[in-house]
Structures are given as structure tokens and as C-alpha cells.
Amino acid sequence: MEERNFKILVASIIIGIVIFWLLVYSFVSLGVDPLENIKDLFGEEEEVVLVVKGEVSEELELTLSDLKSDRYNHVENKQFQLINAFGRSFNVTYTGVTLWSILDQSGILTSNSKAFTFVASDGYYSEKPLDLSLAKEYENDVLLAYGGEDFNENEDGTLRSVINRYVIPNETTTHYWVKYLTTILIE
């Protein structure tokens, strides 16, 4: 009797291990994240990734889903040129949402809204405020990037600001390329 129980126990363990690895294989091959689906079941709210505040009619909080929605204008895999503090020029490719479309569609700008500053999660901010007319005139060249060939979430965070070189030709553009972007301060 004991030998029979032992064989049943071993067979149960083997079947359990096989089923476990079949589930893991299924999740991996189908690209399913079971934990994400569990979060969806409980209706967990998405985290706010960007706040627009300052000289605005009301503070605006946006999630990554909001930023990726069809409400705003998007730029797909656009090449941007940057100049670093040493005068070296680089070309990088990003995908994201235009700053002007967020400001325009939300309708939060006031008559006193003149400039914008990008602020990172660690408090770093762009060198000096840039005129809002640049975001409007060069709409597809002032971007809040969330993807693209050169986007690396480990280095850039969820969002990063990107401004093409010719928008501010006499400036070091990397000072305005803020990683881990969390706030846009309107002045």
C-alpha cells in the first residue's frame, strides 16, 4: 500500500511540474503578462506620468494611456538632431506626442502663459524657459517621447522631452532633452 501511495505522490508531482511549465510556456509564447491581467480585473488605476502646471487655468495630470490616445498629435519614428555641450551633433529617432497638441487640446493655457520648462523626477529642469510659440510653430519638433528606435526606458524613464536642433539653433539642445520627464511648468 505504501509503495502505491509513493508512486501516486511522485506521479502527482511530475504532473504538477509539467502543467506549471506548460503554463509558463503558454504565457511566454503568447506574450501574456498574467499579473497585468490580474491588475485589470481589480481596476487598478494607471499611474500619472506627466503634470502640466504653473500659469494654466487648471493643473493637468496625464497617464501614459492619455498621452498615447488619439486625442493628441503623434510623431512616429522621427529623426531628431541634437547638439551636446561639446558641440557634437547626433541624430536619434523617437516616437511621441507633440507638446503643442497637449496644450492646445486641453485648453488650459491662459493669456499669461508665455513659456514652458521641462522638469525631471529628480528636480533637474531645462536650462531656461522656452517660448510657447516655438512649441506651436514647430509642433512636430517639440516632442514628449515615449518610444522609438533610440528610446530606452531604463535610461530615459517613461517620458523624455525632445527638441530638434533647428527649433533653437543657437542653443545646446541637450539642455532641453530632459530624461524622466514628470512636469511641464508653464510660465
Checking if the pLDDT of 71 tops 70, the result is: yes
Report yes or no: 107 and 166 within 8 Å, Cβ to Cβ. Answer: no
Residues 22 and 93 in one domain: no
CATH number at residue 87: 3.90.420.10
Q: What single-letter DSSP state applies at residue 3?
A: H
User: What does the pLDDT average to over 86-90?
Assistant: 88
User: What does the pLDDT average to over 28-49?
Assistant: 66
Q: Which domain holds residue 133?
A: 48-186
Looking at residue 130, what is its pLDDT?
93
Q: What is the CA radius of gyration of the chain?
A: 24
Residues 103 and 26 in one domain: no
Residues 176 and 115 in one domain: yes
Residues 72 and 162 in one domain: yes
Specify the number of domains making up the chain. Answer: 2
Residues 117 and 32 in one domain: no
Q: 103-147 pLDDT, tens per residue? A: 999 999 999 999 999 999 999 998 889 999 999 999 999 999 999
CB half-sphere exposure, 162, CA atoms < 13 A: 29
Residues 87 and 148 in one domain: yes
pLDDT band for position 43 (cuts 50, 70, 90)? low
Q: Sheet of 89-98: strands edge to edge?
A: 74-83, 89-98, 142-147, 160-163
Q: Are strands 130-131 and 142-147 parallel, antiparallel or unpaired?
A: unpaired
- What is the pTM (predicted TM-score) of this model? 0.74
